Amino acid sequence: MTYAVIDNTGTPYPVSDMDDAIYKLASIARHREGADPAKIRVGLENDGVYRIDDKPCINTSRFNAAVIDLRRAGMQHYQAMNRHLDGINQTIADEAQAARLQAKRPLNGDWLVLASGDRRRLALVHDDLGQWEAQPTMTKGGSFTISKSGKSGFSGLFDDCCAIEPSNLHPEPAHFWFFDHGEAGANRAVNCMIRVNTWIEGLPF
């Protein structure tokens, strides 16, 4: 992945190239913001970061977003996806990230590679006398919260339980959300990307 998109709600969208970014953003602008896709403009904000808006002046734009060329901007994908975080929220994400990478056990929200090759997230982890089992997420739907401690909760449907084992795969980014500045309330969800460990499906006990 060489590009990432952040729209004006802070929602991250992975894209394959600039044309894909413009297409996605035009669709979002049309359906959610009432903007005219024909007026979508692209301008270079700084090296590797392109500002997109639907008005001559960005300060009056009803819709704006940034497309980030990761290679030119010198960013990893997960860093670009967190570009919308302010200082307080970035601290929450950084503390959660540090806790996740120090974890020696599987956690809700980690990645799981099934024997079939499918990739899921761990929705609910069970410790059976030191042997780990987990219920992965279904193929679609659900969301993961995260706290500064790195602990995560899942809302959605679980699949059947399976044994899990460590892998030598590198941590990979995964989507989470938390409350803005850590204060619970309606419409206060903040999206972020956190790198998590990857596990593999093991043999049944």
pLDDT for the residue numbered 89: 93
Q: What share of the chain is helix, strand, coil (3-state, %, to 5)?
A: 25, 40, 35
Q: Are 102 and 92 in contact (CB under 8 A)?
A: no
Whole-model pTM above 0.75?
A: no
Mean pLDDT split into 10-residue runs, the chain, 205 residues: 55 62 62 54 55 48 58 64 84 95 91 90 81 79 91 91 88 90 90 90 75
CB-based burial of residue 135 (10 Å sphere; 0-12 exposed, 13-18 middle, 19+ buried)? buried
Helix (H) or strand (E) segment spanning residue 24:
helix 18-28
Residue 133's CB is within 10 A of a number of other CB atoms, namely 17
Q: Which residues pair with 173 in a beta bridge?
A: 195
Dihedral sign, Cα of residue 28, residue 30, residue 32, residue 35: positive
For residue 82, the SS3 value is coil
Q: For position 61, what pLDDT does the model report?
A: 45
Burial of 91 (0-12, 13-18, 19+ CB in 10 A): middle
Whose tokens are 């929220």? That residue is 89
